[in-house]
Amino acid sequence: MLLRHKKELITYINLIPYHSEFWQECKTRKPDNNVEKAVYFLVLSNFGYMGMPRTLVFVNENAKKILLENIEKTYLFLVRNENKFLNCDFREVLKKICLRNEFEKANTFIYADPPYLLTGNNYSCSFIKQDSIDLFNILQNSGIRFAISEFKNDFIIEQARKRGLNVITIGERRTMKKRNTEILITNYKENKTLFN
């Protein structure tokens, strides 16, 4: 969407009000086109408390300006690096990618953000333990640098430890009802960011 319709997306975001009525519209109305779908998704995930579409957050920073700056950074990153996107079961992804040599393999990175184990409300279907095991196996067998985000739970920590992977605490996610510690599991030690 961003690669093909960047100008439309930015124009639409510039025109939207930072207002509770528009927030409610994003939560209830089904968009007519793909640009509107993208805008509604960006509004709900960027203007909501903890990235969740429950509560609109009013902050001191200019949230719309920050969103637009990040869209531009993301667009430039995608264009310069000729990134590709796939929409399929994670078990099929690596079968569809052709890494022609060790240089390409060494310069490839996989970030996996699965439905967190034992949570059922963040995606239409939640992972079960076997899905998590399959994901660990596929990523480890790939020989490619990877990171998996998850909530800290005993099963996931055990899987990571027995495979010799690094477990990094990202921080705590809090809601009114519960707290979860988010972790990142990696097969590398050096610090990397998306834009370097």
Question: What confidence tens digit (pLDDT) does each residue in 22-57 have?
Answer: 888 888 888 888 888 888 888 887 777 666 666 676
Domain count, the chain: 2
What domain range includes position 52? 2-81
Whole-number Å distance between alpha carbons of 43 and 22: 9
Beta-bridge mates of residue 172: 181
Q: How many Cβ atoms sit within 10 Å of the Cβ of residue 21? A: 8
- Residues 119, 165 share a domain: yes
Q: Tens digit of pLDDT for each residue in 93-140?
A: 888 888 888 898 888 899 998 887 866 555 556 678 999 999 999 999
CB 163 within 8 A of CB 140: yes
Residue 10 lies in a domain: yes
CB 195 within 8 A of CB 78: no
**pLDDT category of residue 190 using cuts at 50, 70 and 90:** low
Burial 64-76 (b: 16+ CB within 10 A, else e): beebbeebeebee
- Residues 73, 119 share a domain: no
pTM value surpassing 0.75: no
H/E element, 17: none
Domain end call among 81, 108, 124: 81
Beta-bridge mates of residue 131: none
